[in-house]
């Protein structure tokens, strides 16, 4: 465990960031016998003990589930993505500023476990449709790996974290190692039947999520409370806190150091490799160094780019690993703004039990075989849910007294909401950079984000709207509304890119095993390593890449190559 007076400064491995990929790196390296230091810039959060709102009811909160105007002013970005039940797992925007060249929601959780405590838990494999896309249509550089390189690692991760889902036999969305699937409700099953009847190339299935439908590895099962983002005392979903970090501690090889802001990676020009990190204590602002043979950077896409850009030396005057000039560039996020919703008049005698923590998925059905009639490349999936209208949905209705209360407490009609999660192409001018003129309270340059969705994404959003509305119409829904919320980049919280993998050091930052091309003992396995974005939720891929890179790093270290 961490001790504030720990004099040890040398380790076999250092992992920066304790979120989804950092927790995995720490566990894998510790299990391979390496004395590992896990650095987290935020506070310590211990599983179960530090979930203060997990068992509270809505009326236990002073303002219900609403932020105050003061909280919204203090944290405009985080408050759009949080509520009083989980706000303690989000940063304060005023205390942690960044610069938006264009609107971009940088959603952050600075604590042990990072955003693994608040993630959406959806777990989907990529296929070669995704890994080959850049090469085939010329957007971005070619991935240095293919599905067969990652398939066994997907399975390895799924067996550990526990993913509930249904096998569907789709080439564009490979099946995995699943726990029993959750169930669609009646209106979702109705929509699924109608979609298949009208177009057999489309399919609606239950979402594949890291929520446990049975006890798994001393955790769970999921209680169907749908309060996951408060921290789950039952261990009903995967997080670093419930799974990988305890597993790392169980080896006796882990040291956890919270309140540790990594300012830079230290590089030795004579040895031609990284030798450690410089850390600033977030509480005391004291600066000190830790040393290790290998370093894994898992601070999350934007923060990782910042650390690498700050890590300057004679060898890397523009940031560590930035020989190609691509460091900080090619930032991506999925768009999830457009879709449709509608009401259905059937199934009034049916209801459901519990609050299922997942919706449905309609896997990608556009551009699977190089269709040319569409005005965009790549594709999207549809995610959504069906439920009966509740009193909150009808609170704006006029009324008073007993009849009004009775009407509000009687379940309303069934409705379905659905939206497209769409691929964003890797554009060089969507980027993260440093602004040395504006620094944070630790004296580090603020990060500047310049990002926008472009024509391909906008045309895709239009197709999402009309395609979604058409599916609802064909299924007999009424009062169908198509929409585009025009949410900014970052709002889907799937930011990736900035230190992409590639085959050529001249056009990429990392090789096929997530090593920095010119600093072989530094590995980057969080979202910054991604070469394209596909349309699937990306966390499962981060975890699989991390496990694979740790195996490779251990072998290379034993061979003396690092």
Per-residue pLDDT of the chain (562 residues), as tens digits, is 443 345 679 999 999 999 999 999 999 999 999 999 999 999 999 999 999 999 999 999 999 999 999 999 999 999 999 999 999 999 999 999 999 999 999 999 999 999 999 999 999 999 999 999 999 999 999 999 999 999 999 999 999 999 999 999 999 999 999 999 999 999 999 999 999 999 999 999 999 999 999 998 889 999 999 999 999 999 999 999 999 999 999 999 999 999 999 999 999 999 999 999 999 999 999 999 999 999 999 999 999 999 999 999 999 999 999 999 999 999 999 999 999 999 999 999 999 888 999 999 999 999 998 767 899 999 999 999 999 988 777 777 788 888 888 888 888 999 999 999 999 999 999 999 999 999 999 999 999 999 999 999 999 999 999 999 999 999 999 999 999 999 999 999 999 999 999 999 999 999 999 999 999 999 999 999 999 999 999 999 999 999 999 999 999 999 999 9
* CATH superfamily entry for domain 1-51+77-98+108-123+219-333+495-562: FAD/NAD(P)-binding domain (3.50.50.60)
pLDDT at 399: 83
pLDDT at 1: 40
Q: pTM of the predicted model, to two decimals?
A: 0.96
29 DSSP 8-state letter? H
For the stretch 179-183, contacts whose Cβ atoms lie closer than 8 Å and that sit 24 or more positions apart, written own/partner, are 179/212, 179/213, 179/214, 179/216, 180/213, 180/214, 181/206, 181/213, 182/206, 182/207, 182/209, 182/211, 182/213, 182/356, 182/358, 183/356
Longest dimension (CA), the chain: 82
- Backbone phi, psi, residue 362, to 5°: -110, 105
Nearest Cα to 359, choosing from 514, 558, 532, 537? 537
Q: Where are the domains of the chain?
A: 1-51+77-98+108-123+219-333+495-562, 180-206+335-422+454-488
pLDDT at 373: 81
Strands 338-344 and 478-484: antiparallel
pLDDT at 404: 85
Q: Taking phi first (over 0 means left), then psi (-120 to 50 degrees means alpha), and beta for anything else, what does residue 178 get?
A: beta
pLDDT at 5: 41
pLDDT at 2: 40
């Amino acid at each position: 465990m961490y001790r504030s007076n720990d004099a040890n400064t040398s380790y076999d491995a250092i992992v920066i960031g304790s979120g989804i990929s950092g927790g995995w790196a720490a566990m894998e390296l510790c299990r391979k016998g390496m004395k590992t230091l896990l650095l987290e810039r935020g506070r310590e959060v211990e599983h179960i003990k530090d979930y203060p709102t997990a068992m509270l009811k809505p009326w236990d909160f002073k303002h219900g589930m609403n932020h105050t105007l003061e909280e919204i002013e203090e944290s405009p970005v985080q408050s759009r993505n949080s509520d009083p039940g989980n706000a303690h797992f989000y940063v304060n925007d005023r205390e942690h500023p960044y610069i938006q060249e264009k609107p971009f929601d940088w959603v952050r959780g600075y604590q042990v476990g990072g955003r693994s405590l608040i993630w959406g838990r959806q777990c989907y494999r990529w296929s070669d449709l995704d890994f080959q896309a850049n090469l085939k249509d010329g957007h971005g550089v070619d991935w240095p790996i293919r599905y067969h390189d990652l398939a066994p690692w997907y399975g390895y991760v799924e067996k550990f974290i526990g993913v509930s889902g249904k096998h569907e036999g789709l080439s564009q969305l490979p099946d995995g190692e699943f726990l029993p699937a959750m169930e669609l409700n009646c209106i979702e099953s109705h929509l699924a039947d109608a979609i298949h009847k009208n177009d057999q190339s489309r399919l609606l299935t239950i979402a594949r999520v890291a929520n446990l439908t049975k006890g798994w590895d001393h955790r769970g099962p999921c209680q169907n409370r749908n309060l996951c983002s408060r921290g789950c005392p039952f261990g009903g979903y995967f997080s670093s806190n419930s799974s990988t970090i305890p597993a790392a501690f169980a080896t006796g090889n882990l040291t956890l150091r919270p309140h540790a802001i990594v300012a830079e990676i230290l590089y030795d020009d004579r040895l031609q490799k990284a030798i450690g990190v410089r850390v600033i204590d977030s509480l005391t602002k004291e600066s000190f160094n830790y040393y290790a043979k290998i370093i894994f950077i898992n601070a999350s896409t934007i923060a990782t780019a910042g650390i690498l850009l700050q890590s300057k030396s004679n060898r890397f005057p523009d940031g560590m690993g930035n020989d190609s000039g691509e460091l900080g560039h090619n930032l991506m996020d999925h768009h999830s703004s457009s879709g449709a919703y509608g009401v259905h008049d059937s199934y009034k005698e049916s209801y459901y039990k519990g609050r299922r923590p997942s919706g449905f998925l309609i896997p990608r059905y556009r551009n699977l075989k190089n269709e040319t009639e569409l005005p965009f490349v790549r594709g999207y999936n549809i995610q959504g849910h069906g439920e009966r209208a509740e009193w909150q949905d009808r609170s704006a209705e006029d009324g008073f007294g007993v009849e009004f209360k009775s009407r509000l407490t009687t379940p309303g009609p069934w409705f379905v909401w659905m939206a497209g999660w769409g691929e964003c192409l890797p554009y060089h001018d969507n980027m993260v950079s440093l602004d040395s003129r504006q620094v944070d309270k630790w004296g580090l340059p603020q990060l500047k984000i310049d990002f926008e969705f472009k024509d391909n994404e906008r045309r895709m959003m239009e197709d999402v709207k009309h395609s979604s509305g058409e599916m609802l119409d064909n299924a007999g829904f009424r009062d169908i509304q198509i929409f585009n919320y025009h949410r900014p980049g970052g709002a889907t919280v799937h930011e990736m890119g900035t230190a992409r993998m590639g085959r050529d050091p001249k056009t990429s930052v990392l090789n096929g095993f997530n090593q920095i091309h010119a600093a072989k003992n530094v590995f980057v396995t969080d979202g910054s390593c991604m070469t394209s974005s596909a349309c699937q939720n990306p966390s499962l891929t981060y975890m699989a890449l991390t496990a694979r890179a740790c195996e490779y790093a251990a072998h290379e270290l034993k061979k003396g190559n690092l």
